[in-house]
A = this chain, B = another copy of it.
Amino acid sequence: MTAVSSTVSAPSRRPRPLVLDDEQLLLRDAARALVAECAPMADLRDRRAAGDDVGFDRALHRRLVELGWLGITLPVDQGGSGGRLADAAVLFEVLGANLAPAPLLSSELLAGRLLAIAGDPTQQSAWLPAVCAGQAILALAFEDRHHHDRSSPFTTATRQSGGYVLQGAKREVIDGHVADQLVVVARSSSGCSAFLVNPTSPGVTIRRNHLIDHRISADISFDGVVVDDDALVGEEGAIDAVLDGVLDRATVALCAEMLGSAQAIFDRTVAYLRDRVQFDQPIGSFQALQHRAAIWHCDLELARSLVMAAVAAVDDEDPEAAALASAAKATLSDLLLRSGAEAIQLHGGIGMTYEADPGLFVTRARVAAALLGDATFHRRRFATLNGYGP
């Protein structure tokens, strides 16, 4: 008989199963306990009322450091735990459930990660152990525009003897207002480069942005800021590929946080549907609302799978990781916004009040959707990565 002609290829590598392992389950429980204790959601309103200019809770930052969770994915020899992105994703999801801000994305996933893979040993040892010890906050300044753009079209680095001069302005730098050191992406004739910049350097101006989600970021301008040669991270003009990898990874972490938020506001809303009585019955007994909740649940299940697949792809160094990161961010941006809106609607009037929680989720949704590329950006990028971009 005629057998199919394809030769017997070796079984492809077993994909990582899309479940949490035992350690991650323990981590999740511990993180939940921490957040319940240290980061109740009312803190957000309290901090704004108190005129807070930090945007997160210093005590929560300290506790994360004590538990060894700041640096959970950073190298062991730099004071980190050497974990996978999957471990960080567990933390992000739990933080997201309580909308708890912490300088984790900025210091570890963005600037820390970039240093960890492109920095020289001096740069690494100057900053990474300090991040893991909670002694330093780092920020990655990469956005020139109000829409995600990895090409830094407007910030320039001009070579001069012994160093560079930086000129331009960066938008919405996460934790840029409290950073002890900045990593700044700038463009020279040879391409994009990254530089370590002391935020107190002459020519650096930092403006605090108070965001609708109660967090704080910074717009930072660089007016003839002079840095030495040793401020250069990696090779000159060659940071693009590194940056792409760093941003994809951070995007997936942000997606995990957004998933946590979406799931949390869903769970709260479903609980409200069970409890709230109108027309002498729980409103959750109305079939129209049941179907909306059920469809919402389905969308959450899809989103969870996509985030877990993206996490696994990053950890497996799967070439599909970039496309999965974009797929996840496009999906989570839409889903979290819709979740916030649906939560307000199903809560009715009370959902519109500042004292209730749905509004906190919807404002966070808007910010998180815009950060690191919105749904339109990532659908476009997904198309491009798959060879049919416009």
Which of A62-70, A284-292, A342-350 lines the interface with chain B?
A284-292
Q: Report chain B residues within 8 Å CB of A287.
A: 286-288
- Chain A positions 282-316 with a Cβ under 8 Å from a chain B Cβ: 286-288, 290-291
The smallest C-beta distance from A234 to any residue of chain B, in angstroms, reads 37
Question: Interface extent on A, as a size class?
Answer: under 10
Q: With A and B bound together, what is the CA distance between A346 and B154 in angstroms?
A: 55
- Chain A positions 262-300 with a Cβ under 8 Å from a chain B Cβ: 286-288, 290-291
Report copies per complex.
Answer: 2
Task: Using CB atoms, name the residue of chain B closest to A285.
Answer: B287
Q: With A and B bound together, what is the CA distance between A91 and B166 in angstroms?
A: 70
The smallest C-beta distance from A225 to any residue of chain B, in angstroms, reads 38
Q: Report chain B residues within 8 Å CB of A286.
A: 287
Task: Using CB atoms, name the residue of chain B closest to A390.
Answer: B390
Q: With A and B bound together, what is the CA distance between A287 and B279 in angstroms?
A: 14
- Chain A positions 184-198 with a Cβ under 8 Å from a chain B Cβ: none
Q: Report chain B residues within 8 Å CB of A291.
A: 288
Q: With A and B bound together, what is the CA distance between A288 and B291 in angstroms?
A: 7
The smallest C-beta distance from A380 to any residue of chain B, in angstroms, reads 13
The smallest C-beta distance from A216 to any residue of chain B, in angstroms, reads 35
Q: Report chain B residues within 8 Å CB of A290.
A: 288
Q: With A and B bound together, what is the CA distance between A286 and B287 in angstroms?
A: 7
The smallest C-beta distance from A293 to any residue of chain B, in angstroms, reads 11
Q: With A and B bound together, what is the CA distance between A291 and B291 in angstroms?
A: 10
- Chain A positions 245-271 with a Cβ under 8 Å from a chain B Cβ: none
Q: With A and B bound together, what is the CA distance between A287 and B291 in angstroms?
A: 10
Q: Report chain B residues within 8 Å CB of A288.
A: 287-288, 290-291
Listed residue (A286, A288, A290) with the most chain B CB atoms within 10 angstroms of its CB: A288
The smallest C-beta distance from A129 to any residue of chain B, in angstroms, reads 50
Task: Using CB atoms, name the residue of chain B closest to A291.
Answer: B288
The smallest C-beta distance from A291 to any residue of chain B, in angstroms, reads 4
Q: With A and B bound together, what is the CA distance between A287 and B288 in angstroms?
A: 5
The smallest C-beta distance from A292 to any residue of chain B, in angstroms, reads 8
Q: With A and B bound together, what is the CA distance between A288 and B292 in angstroms?
A: 9
Q: With A and B bound together, what is the CA distance between A186 and B287 in angstroms?
A: 57
Q: With A and B bound together, what is the CA distance between A290 and B287 in angstroms?
A: 10
The smallest C-beta distance from A148 to any residue of chain B, in angstroms, reads 20
Q: With A and B bound together, what is the CA distance between A290 and B291 in angstroms?
A: 12
The smallest C-beta distance from A285 to any residue of chain B, in angstroms, reads 10
The smallest C-beta distance from A286 to any residue of chain B, in angstroms, reads 6
Listed residue (A286, A290, A291) with the most chain B CB atoms within 10 angstroms of its CB: A291
Question: A residues engaging B (CB < 8 A)?
Answer: 286-288, 290-291
A-B contact pairs, 6 of them (CB 8 A): A286-B287, A287-B287, A287-B288, A288-B288, A288-B290, A288-B291
A-B pairs with lowest CB-CB distance, top 5 = A288-B291, A287-B288, A287-B287, A288-B288, A286-B287
